[in-house]
Structure 1
Amino acid sequence: MNTESASLIVWSSGLAAGAYALLSTYLLSLGDEWRSGKRSKTMLLAVALSALWAALTAFALSSESASAAVLASLADICRHGAWYAFLIFLLIPPTQAQARKAITVRGGMVAACVAMILAGIALQLSLAFGWLIPEQWLRLSLFHSLAMPVLALVLIEQLFRAVADDSLWNVKPLCLGLAGQFIFDIYLFSDALMFSRIDGDALVVRGFIHALTTPLLVLATLRSRNWTSKIRLSQKAAFHSVTLLIAGLYLLFMAGIGYYVRYFGGDWGRALQLGLVCAAILGLGVLGVSGAMRAKLRVLVGKHLFSYRYDYREEWLRFTHTLSAEDSPQGMGQQVIRGLANMVESPAGTLWLRDASNESYRQNARWNVPECSSNEAANSSLTRFLLDSGWIINLEEYRCHPSRYRELEIPDWLSHMANAWLVVPLMVGNEMIGFVILASSRTTIDVNWEVNDLLRTAGCQAAGFLARMQATEALLEARKFDAFNKMSAFVVHDLKNIVTQLALMLRNAERHRDNPEFQEDMLMTVGHSVERMRQLMMQLREGATPPGTACGVSLPELIQRIQKEKMDQGRPVELVIQDRLATRGHENRLERVIGHLVQNALDATDNSGKVWISLKKKGDRAALEIGDSGHGMSPEFIRERLFKPFQSTKQAGMGIGAYESSQYIRELGGEMHVDSQVGEGTRITLMLPLFELRTASDLGEKEAA
C-alpha cells in the first residue's frame, strides 16, 4: 500500500471516528430518560466502541504500530458484539411472556453471536502468543471478518421482518444505516478472501461509508424513544432469517474452499476458483427455487422453534388472498386446491363437487393431476363417512390402520390415484358440497390434530366461497331467464296486437276484396306488420334495448298516424294539437307505447263514449294527454296494480303493455301521471322532454344579424 493510499485511509477512519464521537455526544445529551432502557444503553455502547475502533484504526495506520493494530481489531470485534446485543434486545418483546418465548426461539442466534465474538478474541490471542503462523492467521481473520457482518445482516433482516407495520417507520432508518455498513464490509472482506489481497480503494471508502450512515442512526433516535414497542414473533421472519443464515454460511464455506483451490491449484488455480464460484452460485439458486427444500426448512423451523407449527394469521391471510384472487367458477376451484395444498406443502390436488342432480360428485378442477372421468355416488361409503364424521381422511394411515376409519371403503378410482394422500371434506353447515384430494407432501409432515383442525376449518371457508360462487352463478342464470321471460312477454303482447290487426283486416277482406283502395291499404298493413315482427325478432336476438339510436320524434305526426290507424279500425279518436312539439326517443317504440295507451282507452270506452289525444307545451316539457270517458279505475288499483306486469283490468289482458309504457317513458327522462275515477273515465298525461326542431338556417340568422 503506497503512502498516499495510507494517508487517505487515515483521513477516512478519522472522519468515521469524528462522526461516531459526535453521535455519542448527541446520545449522551438526550438525558437519563432516554438512557434508562437496556436498548438505549446498548446502542450508546455500540456507537462509542465504533468511535474507538475508527480512532484506533487511524492511529495504527499513521503510527504503523502492531499493538495499535491488534487493539483496533479487538475494538472491531467488540463493536460487532455491541451491535449484536442491541439488535437482539430490539428483537425481544417488552412483555415477560413474549420475552421468554423470544429468547427461547432466538437462543441459537444468541449462541452464534457469542461464538463469533469468542472466536475473534481467540484469533487475536493466537497471533499475540504465536499459536498460528501469520499466513494462517490472516486467512482465518479474513474469514472471521466476513462472517461477522453476515451474522449482523441476519439480525437486521429478522428485525425488519418481525416488527409490526406501525413500528416499521421507527426502525427503517436504523436498519438502512446498519445494513449499509455491514453490506460494504461483506464486499470488502469477500473480495479479500477470494483474491488474497485487500482492496486499497475499498479501505479508503470504508470510513466515509460509516460516516455517511451516522445521520440515519440519528434519525432513528429521533423517530422513536422505545424503538419497537409492538414487536411480534413471526414464523415467516424466522424462516427467512434461517434461510439467510444458511445461505451466508454456505457462501462462506464455498469461499474458503475457493481460497484453497486457488492456493493449491497452481497455474489453473484462478480458473478453478472462478468455476467453483459459478458452481456455488448456481447451486444456491437451485436450492433457493426448490419447493421441496423450502418445505423441509419451513417444517424444521416450525417444529423446533415454535410451540405451534402454523402462524395462523399468516396462513389465514394467505388462504383468503388465494381464494379472493379468482372470481370465475372455473378458476375458483383450482384456487381452493392451491390454498389447501400450500398448508401441507402438497404439490398437486383435485376438487370434486356435487353435480346439479345432487346424486353424485364429479371432478370439477385439478392441479398437476390427470383427469378422472369417474363419479362418486352421494350415498357411497366415502361420501357418507365424510358427511357423518367430518374427518380428514389420511390415506397413508388408512392403508396401515384401516380399523381407525370404522367401515370406510375407499373406491377403486381413489385407490389407483397416484400419490393420493389427504381427503378434505368441504362442509357448509350439515351439507357437504364436495371434497378435495391432496397429493403427498414434498416433505414428511406429521398429520396431527393441528394440521387436521387447520384443514377442516380452511375447508369450511373454501366451501363457503364455492357455495357463494354457485349461488351467484345460479342467481345470474335466474336473472337471465327473468330478463328473457320479460322480453318474451313484451314480444307476446306486441304479437297479440299485430294478430288483432291482421284478423280485423281478414274479416274486412271478404266484403272489400274487389276494392282497390282496400287492397292498397291491406298491402300497407301487411308490410307494416312484417316490419314490426322483424324488429321484434331483432329485439329477441340483441336484448331488451330496441335497435337503432334515439333521435328527434315529431309528436303531432306520430299521434296523427295513430288516429288514422284507429279510424281504419272503426274507432274515432279526437285530436287537440296546440303546439307542434318534438321529443327524443325511438320512433317505432314511442308509437307503440302511445298506441297501446290509446287502445286501452278505446277498450275501456263503449261506442257512445269519447277518446281524445291532446298535445301542448307545459313549461320545458311536452304534455301529451290520452283521455277517455270509460269506466275508469279505482285508487287502490292505480296504487297497487297499475304499471305492474301481469296486472290488468281486462279479462284477456296481461298488463305487459302498461308496464312497458311506464318503463320506456321513465327511460326517456319523462313522467306519467294518471287521473281516474270509477265510472267517469281516465286521463293519462305523458310529460316528455322537449327536442328543439330547427327549421331556419344558421347562415340566414347570421345574415339577418
Structure 2
Amino acid sequence: MIGWIEVAALVFGLVISALITLSPRFWTGSRSLLFLILPASLSAALEVFGEQSGALLEADVHRLAFACIVFAAAGGYLTGQHKKSFSIPILATGSLLIALLCLVPTPYSQGVEAPEAYVQLGLAGYLSAFFLLIVSVIVLARLEQVLRSASETTRWGLKFLFVGIAAIYAAIIYMSSQVLLFPPVAGLLPVGSLRLFHCIFPVSCGLIFISWLRSSGTTRISVSHGAIYSSITLFSVGVYLIASSLIARWAGQWGDLGLPVEALVFLLSAIVLTVILLDTGFRHHARSWIRRNIFAGRYDYRHFWLEATEKVRSIDPPAVTASALADIVHRALGAIEVSIWVRRWNPTKLELLSSTGAISGSLEMQADGVVEELIDITEPVSAHDLDKRKDSPVLSAFVKKTRASLLVPLLSSNRIVGVITVGADRSGRSYDWEAREFLRALAGHAAGEFHKSDLLETLVSAKEDEAFRAFSTFVLHDLKNFASTLSYIAQNAPKHQHNPEFQKDAFQSVYDTAEKMKRLCNSLRTFSSSLAWDKKPVDLNQIVQRAADTLAAAGSDHVKLELQSLPP
C-alpha cells in the first residue's frame, strides 16, 4: 500500500513538472516551482527504487529521501523571489546541510542501533530539521500575505496552487517538529512522518494541476510592503521566543538555584525583545535591510502615491497640505527632521509651513535669500554636493539650520514653488538614487498642488476685488443720484423759492434723499460688520421662486421657471 502511494507521488510529481516546463501558466518565473516539485519527486523515487536496487540500506534510503526534502524546501523558497541576495544564503545553508547529511557518519553506522520505525540522522539531521522549520514558516507567511493581497480574479486562479504548496510545507513542518522532539545528537526521524510527506505530495500535485488548468499565464502578483513587514515581524518574534525558550530549558539544567530559572530567562528575554523592537534606530535599520534584500523596489509606490493624492491637495489650507507631505516623507524614508518651505506672499522669501523632529520650534518662519540659490537646482541634491559650492553661503547656512541631508526643490511649470528639506536616514545610510527618484516624483505632485493653491488664492482675491469694484460702482451710482437731486433743488431754489408747491416738493425730496442715504449707510455698516458673521447656506431656488412669485402677484406672466436641485 505504502509503495503504491510513493509511486503515485513520483508519477504526479513528474507530470506536474512536465506541465510547468512546457506551459508555465502561473506567472513569470513559474518554472522556479520545479525546484520544489522535482526534489520532492526524487525523494519518492528513492523510497520506491532505493531498497530494490540492493545498493543502499533502508536507513540510507530514508536519509537520502530526507536530504531531498531539505533541497525541496530550500528550492521552494526561491519561488517568486525578486531579490537574490537573501536567496543565496538559504540555498547555501541547504546545500551545506545536505552535504552533512550525506557525509557525516551517524550513530547507527558506528554500531548503534536506532529504535524501531526511526532513522538516526545525527546532529546534521537535527540542524536540517530546524532549517526546514524556519524556511517553512517563512514560505507559509509569504503565501498567506500574497493570497490576501491578490485580486479576486487572481485569487480564483491561484488559490489551489497556494493550498498545494502550503500542504507540502505543512507536512514538512510536521516532519521537522518530530525530529526536534529528540536530542540533537541522535536526530531521530520517524519513518511514518517521512511517509506522511509522500502521502500529502500527490494531493498537493492534484491541487496544483487544478490551478494550472485555471490560470492563463498573464497573472502578476505583488505584495505590499506593509504585509511583508508584518509577516517578518511576527516571524522574527516567533523565532526569538522559541530560541529564548530553548535557552531557558538549557539554563534549567544548571541545578536548583532557589528560583524558577526557565521563567526568569524567558521574562528577561521578553524584556530585551521589547526594548529592541521599540528602538527607533533598530526599526529603521530593519526596514532598510528588508527594502534592500527582499523587495524589487524599496518603496511601496502605490501606497504612498494613493496617500499623496488623497492628503496632499490644493483645496486644503497650505499648512495642512504641508503637514501631510512631511508625514509621508518621514514614514517613507525614515527621516526624523523634515521641513516644508513654500513661496507665498513674498516671492523672494520662503515661508515655513511644517516641520518635524528636533528642528520643530527652532526654525524661523521665513528664510531670505534661499530662492535665488534654488533657481538652478532642478533635482534633489545632497548636502555634501552643496558643500562643494563655495559661492552659496546662504544656502549652506540654510542646510545647516534645517539639518538637511537632501534638498528637494518643489518645481511646477519651471517655477520654484518651495523646497523640502530631508534629514539624515536613521539607518545611517546615505540616500541612493531610488530615494531621490521617489522624492522627485512626490515633490512634483506636491509642487503642483501648492501651485494650484496659490493660483486659487490669487483667483479668489481677484474675484473679491471684482466684487468690490462692482459694489463700489452701485454705491457711487446711488451717491450720484443723491447729489443730482440736491443739485437740482439748489439750482431751482433762487427762482422758485417763494413758490409753496416748490417748497413742498423740495422738502419732500430732501427728506427722501436723507432716508435713502440713511438706508445706504446702514447697508454699508451691515456689510462691513454683521454680514461676515451671519453667513449661512441659502437655497438659490427659493430666492428665484420668491422673486417669480412677486412678479406673478404684479400681473406678469412672462416668466417661465426651470429650476433644478443644486449640488451639495
The TM-score normalised by the length of structure 1 is 0.54
Q: Report the equivalent of 1:407.
A: 391
Q: What is the CA–CA distance in structure 2 between the aligned matches of 1:492 and 1:447, rounded to whole Å?
A: 62
Alignment pair present for 1:127 and 2:107: yes
- Please say if residues 323 and 339 of structure 1, whose CA atoms lie closer than 8 Å, have aligned partners that are also in contact: yes
What pairs up with 1:687-702 in 2 under 5 angstroms? none
Deviations 1:532-587 (A, max 9, x none): 989x9898865597699959xxxxxxxxxxxxxxxxxxxxxxxxxxxxxxxx943x
Q: What is the CA–CA distance in structure 2 between the aligned matches of 1:549 and 1:233, rounded to whole Å?
A: 52
Deviations 1:165-212 (A, max 9, x none): 776655443334443564676588669858979xxxx99999989978
Q: Secondary structure at the match of 1:388?
A: coil
- Please say if residues 341 and 349 of structure 1, whose CA atoms lie closer than 8 Å, have aligned partners that are also in contact: yes
Q: Report the equivalent of 1:577.
A: none
Match of 1:352 among 330, 341, 345: 341
Residue 110 of structure 1: how far off its partner (Å): 1.9
- Please say if residues 393 and 424 of structure 1, whose CA atoms lie closer than 8 Å, have aligned partners that are also in contact: yes
What pairs up with 1:497-646 in 2 under 5 angstroms? 511=504, 585-586=545-546, 589-590=547-548, 624-625=557-558
Match of 2:80 among 81, 85, 91: 91
Q: Report the equivalent of 1:685.
A: none
Q: What is the CA–CA distance in structure 2 between the aligned matches of 1:461 and 1:264, rounded to whole Å?
A: 63
Q: What is the CA–CA distance in structure 1 between the aligned matches of 2:523 and 2:331, rounded to whole Å?
A: 58
Q: Secondary structure at the match of 1:91?
A: coil
Q: Report the equivalent of 1:273.
A: 262
Alignment CA distance shift 1:443-1:290 (3 Å): same
Alignment pair present for 1:106 and 2:92: no
Residue type of the alignment partner of 2:405: W
Q: Secondary structure at the match of 1:337?
A: helix
Match of 2:415 among 417, 422, 431: 431
Residue type of the alignment partner of 2:348: E
Residue 81 of structure 1: how far off its partner (Å): 1.8
What pairs up with 1:276-287 in 2 under 5 angstroms? 276-284=265-273, 286-287=275-276
Q: Report the equivalent of 1:469.
A: 453
Residue 131 of structure 1: how far off its partner (Å): 11
Deviations 1:225-256 (A, max 9, x none): 68977678999699869878866765565454
Alignment pair present for 1:365 and 2:343: no
Residue 346 of structure 1: how far off its partner (Å): 0.9
Residue type of the alignment partner of 2:392: L
Q: What is the CA–CA distance in structure 2 between the aligned matches of 1:288 and 1:121, rounded to whole Å?
A: 40
Alignment pair present for 1:311 and 2:292: no
Alignment CA distance shift 1:367-1:75 (3 Å): same
Alignment CA distance shift 1:106-1:317 (3 Å): same
Residue type of the alignment partner of 2:160: P
Q: What is the CA–CA distance in structure 1 between the aligned matches of 2:426 and 2:451, rounded to whole Å?
A: 30
Alignment CA distance shift 1:150-1:296 (3 Å): same
Match of 2:212 among 217, 224, 232: 224
Alignment CA distance shift 1:666-1:238 (3 Å): closer
Residue type of the alignment partner of 1:335: A
Q: What is the CA–CA distance in structure 2 between the aligned matches of 1:204 and 1:480, rounded to whole Å?
A: 86
Alignment pair present for 1:117 and 2:104: no
Q: Secondary structure at the match of 2:138?
A: helix
Alignment CA distance shift 1:481-1:512 (3 Å): closer
Q: Report the equivalent of 2:135.
A: 151
Q: What is the CA–CA distance in structure 2 between the aligned matches of 1:450 and 1:542, rounded to whole Å?
A: 53
Q: What is the CA–CA distance in structure 2 between the aligned matches of 1:148 and 1:237, rounded to whole Å?
A: 26
- Please say if residues 412 and 447 of structure 2, whose CA atoms lie closer than 8 Å, have aligned partners that are also in contact: yes
The TM-score normalised by the length of structure 2 is 0.65
Residue type of the alignment partner of 2:307: T
Q: Which runs of 5+ in 1 are unaligned?
A: 1-13, 60-66, 94-101, 514-521, 552-583, 596-612, 616-623, 627-661, 670-705
Q: Report the equivalent of 2:254.
A: 264
Residue type of the alignment partner of 2:452: R
Q: What is the CA–CA distance in structure 1 between the aligned matches of 2:466 and 2:192, rounded to whole Å?
A: 80
Q: What is the CA–CA distance in structure 1 between the aligned matches of 2:482 and 2:563, rounded to whole Å?
A: 28
Residue 407 of structure 1: how far off its partner (Å): 0.6
Residue 481 of structure 1: how far off its partner (Å): 7.2
Residue type of the alignment partner of 1:150: I
Residue type of the alignment partner of 1:405: R
Alignment CA distance shift 1:116-1:153 (3 Å): farther
Alignment CA distance shift 1:193-1:475 (3 Å): farther
- Please say if residues 13 and 38 of structure 2, whose CA atoms lie closer than 8 Å, have aligned partners that are also in contact: no
Residue type of the alignment partner of 1:361: L
CA RMSD of aligned residues (A): 5.9
Residue 335 of structure 1: how far off its partner (Å): 2.5
Q: Report the equivalent of 1:386.
A: 374
- Please say if residues 262 and 272 of structure 1, whose CA atoms lie closer than 8 Å, have aligned partners that are also in contact: yes
Q: What fraction of aligned residue pairs are identical, expressed as a percent?
A: 13
Q: Report the equivalent of 1:603.
A: none
Q: What is the CA–CA distance in structure 2 between the aligned matches of 1:484 and 1:211, rounded to whole Å?
A: 86
Q: Report the equivalent of 2:319.
A: 330
Residue 388 of structure 1: how far off its partner (Å): 2.3
Alignment CA distance shift 1:139-1:499 (3 Å): farther
Q: What is the CA–CA distance in structure 2 between the aligned matches of 1:92 and 1:411, rounded to whole Å?
A: 44
Q: Secondary structure at the match of 1:406?
A: coil
- Please say if residues 361 and 377 of structure 1, whose CA atoms lie closer than 8 Å, have aligned partners that are also in contact: yes
Residue type of the alignment partner of 1:110: L
Could you say which structure has the higher strand fraction? 1
Alignment CA distance shift 1:287-1:249 (3 Å): same
Q: What is the CA–CA distance in structure 1 between the aligned matches of 2:174 and 2:102, rounded to whole Å?
A: 23
- Please say if residues 193 and 255 of structure 1, whose CA atoms lie closer than 8 Å, have aligned partners that are also in contact: no
Q: Report the equivalent of 2:306.
A: 321
Q: Secondary structure at the match of 1:174?
A: helix
Q: Report the equivalent of 2:496.
A: none
What pairs up with 1:486-505 in 2 under 5 angstroms? none
Q: Report the equivalent of 1:674.
A: none
Alignment CA distance shift 1:387-1:114 (3 Å): same
Q: What is the CA–CA distance in structure 2 between the aligned matches of 1:203 and 1:280, rounded to whole Å?
A: 36
Q: Which runs of 5+ in 2 are unaligned?
A: 24-30, 52-56, 185-189, 490-499, 507-511
Residue type of the alignment partner of 2:133: P
Residue 476 of structure 1: how far off its partner (Å): 5.6
Residue type of the alignment partner of 1:261: A
Alignment CA distance shift 1:187-1:471 (3 Å): farther
- Please say if residues 170 and 220 of structure 1, whose CA atoms lie closer than 8 Å, have aligned partners that are also in contact: no
Return 331-340 or 472-481, whichever deviates more: 472-481
Alignment CA distance shift 1:31-1:133 (3 Å): closer
Count of matched residue pairs: 508
Q: What is the CA–CA distance in structure 1 between the aligned matches of 2:447 and 2:68, rounded to whole Å?
A: 57
Q: Secondary structure at the match of 1:426?
A: strand
